Amino acid sequence: MRVQLIGAFCALAMATAGAAHAQEAPASAQAGDLTVRQGHMMGWAGGGTPLGGEVAFTVENAGTAPDRVVSVSTPAGPVGAVSVQVARDGRAVSLAPGDATLAAATDAGPGLSRVTAQLTGLSHGAPSSVLTTITVTFERAGPVTVSARPVSPAPPPG
């Protein structure tokens, strides 16, 4: 019983600390020509396997040069695969696995990309319902941190 209470207290403390840190991060932030916004985080149970989830955000590139996502991190849990979708001719196009090149601006307007990072091995369910942060590092523009609002838990993909 005492161990369960200590575990519950630790989980609550971690969730509270993550929420406090996230409140310090803006909903959108700029790094060079890039603006990161619309961050969200979702967690789910994997049917007896460790909890998983994803963080996602939108990147608007006002510059004419493309940039690349180098890394994504979050206190919500370890980050696995990162995928990028870019807007082309009004449609979302998924890039090949491992290709993290963001769309550049064109005469029609800024380049838009949606980045999704899979979370693996979450230790508890708190991240699915607590505001957190996403730190993304770009090849040219450098690092930027934004808040990630929780969205309703969903079943695991696949």
The model's pLDDT over 77-93, given as tens digits with 9 standing for 90+, comes to 888 889 999 988 778 89
pLDDT band at 132; cut points 50, 70, 90:
confident
Whether 134 has a pLDDT exceeding 90, the answer reads yes
pLDDT the model gives residue 25: 85
Whether 103 has a pLDDT exceeding 80, the answer reads yes
Which residues share a beta bridge with 20? none
**Max CA-CA distance within the chain?**
64
Place of tokens 């990630």: 148
In this structure, are residues 57 and 37 in contact, taking their beta carbons and an 8 Å threshold?
A: yes
Place of tokens 């909903």: 27
Q: Any idea which of 5-14, 48-57, 99-108 has the lowest mean pLDDT?
A: 5-14
In this structure, are residues 33 and 63 in contact, taking their beta carbons and an 8 Å threshold?
A: yes
pTM across the whole model: 0.75
